[in-house]
Structure 1
Amino acid sequence: MTDVIRRKIDRARPTQAEGAPGADRGWRLALARAARDAMGLDLEFRSLTISRQSLAEILEQAPDLALIALLDGPRGGLGVIMLAPTVTASFIEKQTLGRLGSQTPPPRRASRIDAAMVAGVIDRALVGLDETLAEEADFSWAGGFRYASYLEDVRPLGLLLEEDAYRVLSAEVALGVDGRTGQVLLVLPAIGRGEAPAVPQNPVEAEAPHFTAALSAQVMQADCRLDAVIGRLTLSLKQVMTLQVGETLALPRAALDAVSLETIEGQRVARARLGQHRGMRALKLNEAMTTRDEASFSPRPAPTGDAQPTELRAAG
């Protein structure tokens, strides 16, 4: 009875940002951008369909030897993403070799290492989907999912997923200049468990959802570079010019738990410690700089004439 009521509420809920792209176009943009930004890989959608399917139907249409990743969603919801062997192999090749080979590798079963290497791309695509759907009704069922774990085959899904209806985004994608093709399936609960976006109160925003979404997408794509500084070393010009291959430079006071996160101008914005996350180097923020800290912190003081090294003065 509860599921029936939830379905009726889901159908009766007014659609926010009507006429906006929706989950279909959002997924196209998000996955293509994730492949491009994370690996420099061109990914093009040849086709994409959205359908409601039962758990039994999903298990039957899973690609052979697919990489199967379980996704965590809002309020305990579980989803799945399935990558055909061609897609997985292309992701791995691009990350390890920097390019795609002239021939498509033979199909093989994905390993846990493969899953760890593509987890970042999957999460990047899901984050991009959230950003695209931030003001749309589809966010209630397609938003808030992230990579959780890897499954060796499709059989455990029959026990892990609920016997309920799912929305399946089934895509055929082409990868690289040689046009390798493969299937990508994104499976999410049909009944949304996430928070529906609020109806915009401003009449101008309500009448122009296309402009708002386009502007937001452009702004969120702007780059903001931050450097993680473990330590700094000051050398004279003479020392720099005499550096040899294989020479070791000792970093004074370098500590993995005292990393400074700085802008390109040298302004410190946070303190962090160096670690790992899903096999990749990562920073854990310990403390953010306050306005008072920023005002009193001089990131890169210019050396005075008296402090100029003798070797540098001799070099002119």
Structure 2
Amino acid sequence: MSVIRRKLAAARAAMAEGTPGADRGWRLALARAARDAMKLPLEVPSLRLSRASLAELLEMPADRALFAVLEGPAEGMGLLVISPPILQGMIEQQTLGRVQSHAASPRKPTRTDAAMVAGLIDAALVGLEQTLAQEADLVWAGGFRYASFLDDPRPLGLLLEDFSYRILQAEVSLAHGVRTGQVLLALPAEGRGAMPSYPAPETQDDTDAPAFASALAERVEGATSELQAALTRVTLPLATIMSLRVGEVMALPTAALDHISIEGTDGRTVGLAKLGQNRGMRALRVTRSVGQDGTATGQAEVQAGNLIVPMAMPEQMRQAG
């Protein structure tokens, strides 16, 4: 299995186990919806994801909160509850242009209040769905929209189905802390929505393999490779080396102009050559090629008979040669 396929498989496994996608997505969706729909700065300092029965859910909302009933996939129903301080702040932002520093006394929400925040609710739910497009949480958190408003929570026990709900309780701050409160989102725990659209794994077409190999070989063969020509190697005492002077003549008893070693930058011998000249340039005629195991071969890196012209010949050698 390729590295890319292993990473995709691991990501899918993590999604199947349930990631904090809805947690992260709801924070972003709420903030963006408030910014776009009301030009209202909204932050979510904390958010808790939990499960609860219908009876437990009905005990969570604060008094005089706004209850927005949501419709979702397969006739599923959810609930979004906005606490009084947050609802008042949203209404003030739309009517006065800013959130008042002193909150008014809590009052019973009206149908007008619900109409004024319905757009923000839908925008937040759409944003959550888009954020979860490739995450497993989309199955239960996607596809819900605002349906109706209740000013009294008592009918909720009849409207909502009696099973487990996933609860997103967000502690919300408006206008950089001027108003704080809670926004609660409750959706059926067993998702009925669309499955996430996972990215398709990348596959390699076998018919492209020869073309790819040919292109790769062309690039590799065109790469620059540095070679060094070694006439001979001598070992001298350190004192002798330290005393060498410019113009001093050194004896090279084992050197032979017809036995030059061609070496790579790693010191490995890749061929043998004979020193000469070609068109006024110092040149090497390869006489023998050497394989990776050090034995002579006709298919090594440097082929016998090839001509290597490394640089211009000094004038003294040209006259002597």
Normalising by structure 2, report the TM-score: 0.57
Q: What secondary structure is seen at the aligned counterpart in 2 of 1:141?
A: helix
Q: What secondary structure is seen at the aligned counterpart in 2 of 1:71?
A: strand
> Match for residue 164 of structure 1?
163
Q: Deviations over 1:48-98 (max 9, x none)?
A: 001110000011111111000000000100000000001110110001111
> Match for residue 55 of structure 2?
56
* 1:113 to 2:116 alignment: no
Query: Cα offset for 1:102?
Result: 2.5
> Match for residue 246 of structure 1?
none
> Match for residue 232 of structure 1?
none
Q: How many correspondences in the alignment?
A: 192
Distance 1:181 1:21 in 2: 24
Q: Measured at CA, do residues 19 and 50 of structure 1 come closer, stay the same or move farther in structure 2, by a change above 3 Å? A: closer
Identity %: 61
Q: What secondary structure is seen at the aligned counterpart in 2 of 1:107?
A: coil
> Match for residue 153 of structure 2?
154
Q: What do you get for the CA RMSD once the two structures are aligned? A: 1.9
Q: Measured at CA, do residues 19 and 188 of structure 1 come closer, stay the same or move farther in structure 2, by a change above 3 Å? A: closer
Q: Deviations over 1:267-289 (max 9, x none)?
A: xxxxxxxxxxxxxxxxxxxxxxx
- Say whether the 8 Å CA contact 2:18–2:137 is kept in structure 1: no
Distance 1:151 1:30 in 2: 23
The higher relative CO (CA closer than 8 Å, separation ≥ 6) is in 1
Query: Cα offset for 1:201?
Result: 2.0
Query: Cα offset for 1:177?
Result: 3.1
- Say whether the 8 Å CA contact 2:21–2:135 is kept in structure 1: yes
Runs of 4+ in structure 1 off by over 6 angstroms are 17-20
Q: What secondary structure is seen at the aligned counterpart in 1 of 2:157?
A: helix
Distance 2:17 2:165 in 1: 22
Point out where structure 2 has 5 or more consecutive residues left out of the alignment.
1-11, 204-321
> Match for residue 185 of structure 1?
184
Read off the aligned partner of 1:58 and give its amino acid letter: L
Normalising by structure 1, report the TM-score: 0.58
Q: Measured at CA, do residues 103 and 157 of structure 1 come closer, stay the same or move farther in structure 2, by a change above 3 Å? A: same
Which has the higher mean CA deviation after the structures are superposed, 75-84 or 55-64?
Answer: 55-64
Q: Measured at CA, do residues 59 and 76 of structure 1 come closer, stay the same or move farther in structure 2, by a change above 3 Å? A: same
> Match for residue 5 of structure 2?
none
Distance 2:178 2:165 in 1: 30
> Match for residue 131 of structure 2?
132
Q: What secondary structure is seen at the aligned counterpart in 2 of 1:153?
A: coil
User: In terms of Rg, which structure is larger?
Assistant: 2
